[in-house]
């Protein structure tokens, strides 16, 4: 049964910026949101944008979250285009492929994880905040991971970056209230390009074989991996008026694998 995204969405005309909008989740979110009449912009690496087919009417802005000046330029351009933002979604993520224990994570790898998964969200929020403050009941949604709470061997560094992202999201919620809401969505693994090595980056050895979807899905009560559409609905809900009194929360989307 397909989801009725229209019942969850912000109203038509809402202005939403997707950082990481050329990835698997971002492209689908852009497609759904644009189809519902939202104004959507995709911000991503130049290579990711070049490889993606953005929906009609969705502008793309080349950014690198490790280069703050590119974010400043992109959000300045969005300000000229729309004048304000009603939503910001941070989808950009980076994982080490193949996974490795903490003692095998070098300083460069650690820095890349933290800068992309955590610092990039911080920079994106700072660049977007003036536009969000001019928006209508604006909301921030970050995309974390169940690994941010439920750590698995070999994913410690990635888990630390996502736990930090969740803490940052709560800080935005506390400091932005009552004008601005902020929440995170934490999905379990999806069999997308990201878990096979990410998009917009140079492929790494082992990227095609490190993730075993059958083994990962075995303990999930719903009997399957998460699909992209399983995450789109929660993101739209947290952006929209149905979540107007929800802020500072992490919504786990794992098919029952991670129960609290």
Token pair in block for residue 70: 């590119």
Q: Is 117 exposed, middle or buried, given 0-12, 13-18 or 19+ CB atoms closer than 10 A?
A: buried
Which residues are CB-contacts of 178 (< 8 A; sequence separation ≥ 6)?
none
Give the N- to C-terminal CA distance of the chain in Å, as an integer. Answer: 27
158 in catalytic set? yes
* Contact present, 81 and 11 (Cβ < 8 Å): no
Alpha-carbon distance of 101 to 228, in angstroms, equals 28
Say which of 90, 94, 158, 216 is annotated catalytic: 158
Whether 20 and 44 have beta carbons less than 8 Å apart is answered as: yes
Active-site annotation, residues: 158
């Amino acid at each position: 049964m397909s989801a009725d995204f229209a019942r969850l969405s912000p109203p038509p005309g809402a202005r939403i910026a997707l950082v990481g909008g050329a990835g698997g989740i971002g492209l689908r979110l852009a497609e759904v949101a644009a189809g519902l009449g939202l104004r959507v912009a995709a911000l991503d690496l130049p290579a990711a944008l070049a490889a993606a087919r953005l929906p009609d009417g969705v502008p793309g802005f080349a950014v690198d979250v490790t280069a703050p000046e590119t974010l400043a330029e992109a959000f300045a351009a969005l300000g000229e285009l729309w004048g304000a933002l009603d939503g910001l979604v941070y989808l950009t993520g980076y994982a080490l492929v193949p996974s490795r224990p903490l003692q095998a994570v070098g300083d460069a790898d650690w820095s890349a994880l933290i800068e992309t998964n955590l610092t990039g969200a911080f920079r994106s929020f700072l660049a977007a905040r003036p536009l969000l403050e001019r928006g209508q009941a604006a909301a921030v949604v970050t995309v974390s991971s169940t690994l941010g709470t439920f750590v698995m061997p070999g994913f410690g560094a990635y888990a630390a970056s996502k736990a930090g992202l969740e803490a940052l999201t709560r800080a935005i919620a506390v400091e932005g209230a009552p004008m601005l809401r902020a929440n995170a969505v934490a999905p379990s693994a999806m069999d997308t390009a990201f878990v096979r090595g990410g998009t917009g980056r140079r492929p790494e050895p082992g990227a095609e074989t490190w993730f075993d979807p059958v083994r990962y899905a075995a303990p999930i009560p719903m009997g399957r991996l998460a699909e992209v559409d399983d995450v789109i609905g929660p993101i739209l809900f947290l952006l929209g008026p149905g979540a107007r009194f929800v802020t500072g929360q992490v919504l786990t989307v794992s098919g029952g694998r991670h129960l609290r």
